[in-house]
Amino acid sequence: MKLLPLVFIVGETASGKSKLAIDLALKFNGEIINADSWAVYRGFDIGTAKPSVEERRLVPHHLFDVADPLAGYSAAIFKRMAGECIEDIYTRKKLPIIVGGTGLYIDSIIYNYIFLPGSNLKERSYLETLKLDDLKTMVNKYGFDSTGIDLNNKRRVIRLIENKGKRPQSSPMRKNILILGLKVDAANLENNIKKRVKRMLNDGLEREVKRLVNKYGWDIEPMKGIGYRQFKDYFNGHITYDQLRELIISDTIKLVKKQKTWFKRNKSIHWLHNSSQSVELITTFLNKSYI
RNA sequence: GGCGUCGUGGCGGAGUGGUUACGCAGAGGUCUGCAAAACCUUUUACACCGGUUCAAUUCCGGUCGGCGCCU
């Protein structure tokens, strides 16, 4: 059985993925699936640069606002939901376009990751209280195979214990996919990020953060994101508004570097330099596929 | 002008007569239920000149610069 065609648009923050996705969805009768780990949270709108109401009216957008900030989210949940969306879009004879900058989420679909069961909250919070050395001792005691596990990384060791030594699975790259990558050169990127952050602040990011903090406090996971956590010091008076803005900008640049590192290793990405290229690539791709 | 004090890599900040402290930033990388996370590797220095010493960033003298006090 041949898999139906699937298009990905990946790349770093502020590279223009969302806009390209809308253009392509309009042109190729597509629907957009979000693969950004922060835009899934309800209420986290401005800081995550979610598409506007008008944009969402133009093209169906999926997997935005699907997570309760208190409940959290994960790559495994994303993979399941995205799978459902993809099937759903196929039944409508439309083209799914997965768009996002979270490498792990993208890979979970490309390589069909089979995640192991989630963690037990009680066990997790207990394991988190232990020191890394104790966790390692535990691994040895139970005889779990730690080959390939980063034993300096507490989270990985905890996962190994939770999984009782079992390892997750993956498959070779999914067939019949097209991965488009958006890249911006360093000088422009920094400029884009500066503009983007200024825009967010003008659009009322401060109000949004204030509202979210009042509702959830600082400790929930999505509050630790860029454009949110930096406000804590600002509200406390430890930094000025200018410092706040610069901090958000530099943290965004750091994020972009990590995103680049992730996508660099996927040799199947077609890196684009202009949007017309993407139209040609998809046209060719769809001619070889069938819906 | 005199006395004292300080002068460490992009920034912050230890320390020593003879193995690069360290943190941040920078560079590279890992990545399967927190991934905008977590973790790993790594570049850059001891203001300048002279002296003592087998050996000086570390001791001594001077120069320059910062800071403080005094006249």
On chain B, which bases lie within 7 A of the protein's CB atoms? 25-40
Helices and strands in chain A: count of H runs, count of E runs:
12, 6
- Which of A197-201, A202-206, A284-288 shows the lowest per-residue confidence on average (mean pLDDT)? A284-288
Backbone angles phi, psi at A9, to 5 degrees: -125, 115
CA atoms within 13 A of residue A224's CA, in its CB half-sphere: 6
* Residue A290: pLDDT band with limits 50, 70, 90: low
What's the Å distance between residue A228 CA and nucleotide B69 C1'?
A: 48
Average pLDDT in chain A: 94
The type of residue at A90 is Y
pLDDT for the residue numbered A87? 97
Q: Phi-psi region for residue A30, left (φ > 0), alpha (ψ -120 to 50) or beta?
A: beta
Query: pLDDT per residue over A76-105, tens digit each?
Result: 999 999 999 999 999 999 999 999 999 999
User: What's residue A37's pLDDT?
Assistant: 97
- The contacts of residue A194 (CB under 8 Å, 6+ apart) are A249
pLDDT surpasses 80 at A274: no
Separation of A25 CA and B52 C1' (Å): 79
pLDDT of residue A256: 96
What letter would DSSP give residue A52?
A: P
Tokens of A192: 């884009």
Task: Give the model's confidence band at A276: pLDDT under 50 very low, under 70 low, under 90 confident, else very high.
Answer: confident
- pLDDT reading at A25 higher than 60: yes
| CA→C1' distance for A44 and B64 (Å) | 56
Over range A234-253, report the average pLDDT: 92
Q: Which two tokens stand for residue A241?
A: 């508004």
Of residues A21 and A289, which shows the higher confidence score?
A21
**What does the pLDDT read at residue A2?**
66
- Taking alpha carbons only, the member of A20, A27, A7, A22 closest to residue A86 is A7
Average pLDDT, integer, range A114-128 = 93
Dist CA A20 CA A37 (whole Å): 19
Q: Does residue A291 have a pLDDT over 60?
A: no
Q: What is the mean pLDDT of residues A253-269?
A: 96
- DSSP assignment of A145-209, as one string? --TT--TT-HHHHHHHHHTTT---B--SPPSSEEEEEE---HHHHHHHHHHHHHHHHHTTHHHHH
Determine how many CB atoms are found less than 10 A away from the CB of residue A60: 16
In this complex, the answer to whether residue A76 has its CB under 7 A from any atom of chain B, a nucleic strand, is yes
Eight-state DSSP code of residue A44: -
Q: How confident is the model at residue A205 (pLDDT cuts 50, 70, 90)?
A: very high
Residues 185-214 of A with CB under 7 A from strand B: none
Asked if residue A103 keeps its beta carbon closer than 7 A to nucleic acid strand B, the reply is yes
Q: Which tens digit of pLDDT belongs to each residue from A139-151? A: 999 999 999 999 9
Tell me the nt nearest to A50, Cα to C1': B36
Tens-digit pLDDT profile for residues A7-16: 999 999 999 9
DSSP A223: G
Q: Average pLDDT, stretch A236-247? A: 90
Q: What is the ipTM of this complex?
A: 0.92
**How would you write A67-132 as a 3-class SS string?**
ECCCCCCCHHHHHHHHHHHHHHHHHCCCEEEEEECCHHHHHHHHCCCECCCCCCHHHHHHHHHCCH
A262 touches strand B (CB under 7 A): yes
